[in-house]
Amino acid sequence: MMLRWLVSNWLRNTAQEKVKETLAGVARKQLDSVGEEEAAPPPPREIGIIFALGIEAGGTVDVLQERVTTRFQTHVEHAGLLNGRYVVIAESGVGREAAADTTRAMLSLHRPKWIVSAGFAGSLHEDLRRGHILMANEVADSDNNLLSMELNVDEETVASTRALHIGRLLTVDRLIRTKMEKEQLAEEHAALGCDMETFAVVEACQQAKTICMSVRVVSDGLEDELPREIEQLLGQTTLAAKLGAAAGAIFQRPSSVKDMWKLKEDAIKASDRLARFLTGVIAQLPEEA
């Protein structure tokens, strides 16, 4: 959650080229809004992984082999091989609506056997520290709706993995900045961590009868508090406004530059840590869902 401000930022041989051409054609249709006949869908991918932002997905995208990147009107996709499995990674954008739309698009286009909601999470419990992994066995939202999830990871792996936690994840619709807010949410919802997308991803998958998992790396611990300048930056909707807010923050508190740089370094480390864990999880997924 703390690192969300950093937003400003299939296959082998001939089969790979055919997929690339098909996806590019679909993208052109979306961008040009041409009412032509739809192209035939590409072959199904085994696994879809949905991140909100490129900074979250970066570590996993970097280890994709034979990678093909396609920019759609609403999101970005990276297709390739991860630990020998065919994977499509999507960057949906922040929030439940964007996550739901991207999940439905991925299910329709690629027909994966598995969907993984991945990215950063904020800790709501003192035991979840920065860099720890949270796998949700259920996900709640702010209205107290609750969805159960299948983990599909063997107990031996869970027991032997340091800093791995299993429990409830809460999906919220705003940035959670202070320790007091986090403690209040933990008490109200009995959750270990929070994010802004997973409930929407799981809900879309359950409607489509597709198995969904959630794997999140803790980007900010219970004690970590987001600087107010970053909260103001997130509230801006245009690039010009964001640049203005950033300039204002630097003018009012020059040390905020150091804070922002530290957040970026922490984000890169968290993304790499998540990539290593996801690679191991994907290796364990059965060939048949």
Provide block-wise average pLDDT over 10 residues at a time, the chain (289 residues). 36 35 42 44 76 93 93 91 91 93 94 94 93 95 92 68 90 88 94 96 96 93 71 51 50 56 80 93 77
Task: Answer yes or no: is 289 within a domain.
Answer: no
Distance in angstroms (rounded) separating the CA atoms of residues 58 and 193:
22
Q: How many domains is the chain built from?
A: 1
Q: Show the domain range for 68.
A: 4-284
- Please give the pLDDT value at position 240: 54
Tell me if 262 is assigned to some domain.
yes
Q: Give me the pLDDT at residue 259, please.
A: 59
- pLDDT of 16 reads 37
Per-residue confidence (pLDDT) for residue 34, from 0 to 100:
38
Tell me, yes or no, whether 128 lies in a domain: yes
Whether the CA torsion 79, 42, 97, 170 is positive or negative: it is: negative
Closest residue by Cα to residue 212 from 113, 281, 140? 113
Domain containing residue 99: CATH number: 3.40.50.1580
Which residues touch 265 (CB under 8 Å, ≥6 apart)? none
Question: Cβ distance 216 to 122 under 8 Å?
Answer: no
Residue 250 domain-assigned (yes or no): yes
Per-residue model confidence (pLDDT) at position 224: 79
Q: Is the dihedral of CA 168, 130, 182, 175 positive or negative?
A: negative
Q: What is the pLDDT of residue 14?
A: 29
Q: What is the pLDDT of residue 241?
A: 52
Residue 94 lies in a domain: yes
Q: How far out from the chain centre does Cα 36 lie?
A: 32
Supply the pLDDT for residue 43: 52
**Reduced to 3 DSSP states, what percent helix, strand and coil does the chain have, rounded to the nearest 5?**
45, 25, 35
Which 3 state secondary structure label does DSSP give 4? helix
